[in-house]
Structure 1
């Protein structure tokens, strides 16, 4: 397997951190982006950049693209603000859409010229099981559904360039953020588990495994696809 260089956004914890660790373990070079870059044990270079600021993001991404010959990108950074329909305010809605979508566009645009020139590239967008429907996630689910649309459209545009574009849609995953709102034994945890036929939460390394598969050279004939990694939650409820 050739050693590649990958950029991972939202890389300091959760799924992004697991992806970085997986790729590094496979011998790849990883550059991560996070709002804060204080963790000294990151398996690669961790760059502090607030991807919610479009102007600074564009400048920072251009600088990284000039420093590294990136072979691929994992668009993982995201923001969720649960709100019931009657309480949705447009400022929060716009912020969720912006943070989930703008960095994906900017990062892909920054890396695209180099990948085109080299005739090889991988883009993986991190979507979510919530695109199939969940209460109080109007903005987040819409943004993650848009990432699936991005995936399909970009895959078509780049189909003959050697660059593939795919998405991974995780189900409930045991990250720090998930546990902050759903402690073990809580009603929130029980509600999520009830929707997963396997009866357990996903682990970040299991999501990272799917991302790694789509980034690999052997996956070059897969493009425009969304892979659900959700313990069966996207296919229905198991009958017991």
Structure 2
């Protein structure tokens, strides 16, 4: 359908070398977008871009540390120089650390907030300036369903994702006059490289998550692709400031 066609669009996907970010990058490329994967590990980014390119789609990579504003500025400059514009930004770079609040260190706290919230803000701010110049754009922030419901042991992570959802609403309000749609996707428990080992080592925790999901399974990164294409395309031109929960119904109750 033409509403979901991304041909001619340029998309940046942070954290696009693996997991949800890689799935979304591949989906946007398949829908026609030229995708730029931005992540810290240059080799991993190039490998991910090559995997997508080898399928006949457009993808490249720029090594980027989203927690460093100068690195994000370099990314934006490179993409504008190479492609002339930025139509879509997907903020998928994210980390998690677990533990009791009373034992959580400042280093652990900063690690989560620097990437999940501060880095996301830098990306929105600097890409947003380019979108404002053009009078249009689509920003998609990867939040989490724990922005809506709290889980023990993930309090700081949940706080970072609640910040993402609230920042999404604030940016949507400020930039609506520039025809920039800012939305978020809130995945439920989704098996990726980020958490696979944890769940393998903690099967009881995994089963507890599954038991709390009406659809009785955890998510796969591909489950997020349709939502991302919708929010990146003209099909969502009147949707802004929303967090679309893709969690198998786990926040119903």
Q: What is the TM-score when the length of structure 1 is the normalising length? A: 0.92
The alpha carbon displacement at 1:61 in A equals 3.4
Q: 1:64 to 1:2 in 2, by over 3 A?
A: closer
1:12-91 alignment to 2 at 5 Å?
12-38=17-43, 39=47, 40-43=50-53, 44-68=59-83, 69-91=85-107
* 1:181-214 residue CA offsets vs partner (Å, 9 max, x unmatched): 1129922321211111111011111112111111
Q: Which runs of 4+ in 1 moved over 6 A?
A: none
CA distance in 2, matches of 1:197, 1:184: 24
Q: Partner of 2:141 in structure 1?
A: 125
CA distance in 2, matches of 1:52, 1:113: 18
Match of 1:113 among 124, 129, 145: 129
Q: How well do the aligned residues superpose, as a CA RMSD in angstroms?
A: 1.7
CA distance in 2, matches of 1:127, 1:106: 16
Match of 1:187 among 200, 204, 211: 204
Higher helix share: 2
Structure 1: state its 5+ residue gaps. none
Q: 1:184 to 1:90 in 2, by over 3 A?
A: closer
Range with greater deviation from structure 2 (18-27 or 64-73)? 64-73
Range with greater deviation from structure 2 (69-78 or 50-59)? 50-59
Q: What is the TM-score when the length of structure 2 is the normalising length? A: 0.87
The count of corresponding residues between Structure 1 and Structure 2 is 236
1:87-166 alignment to 2 at 5 Å?
87-131=103-147, 132-166=149-183
Structure 2: state its 5+ residue gaps. 54-58
The alpha carbon displacement at 1:161 in A equals 1.2
Q: 1:184 to 1:21 in 2, by over 3 A?
A: farther
Is the aligned partner of 1:5 residue 2:5?
no
CA distance in 2, matches of 1:186, 1:89: 26
> Contact between 1:62 and 1:110, CA under 8 Å: does it hold in 2?
no
SS where residue 200 of structure 1 aligns? Answer: coil
Range with greater deviation from structure 2 (225-234 or 29-38)? 29-38
Range with greater deviation from structure 2 (91-100 or 23-32)? 91-100
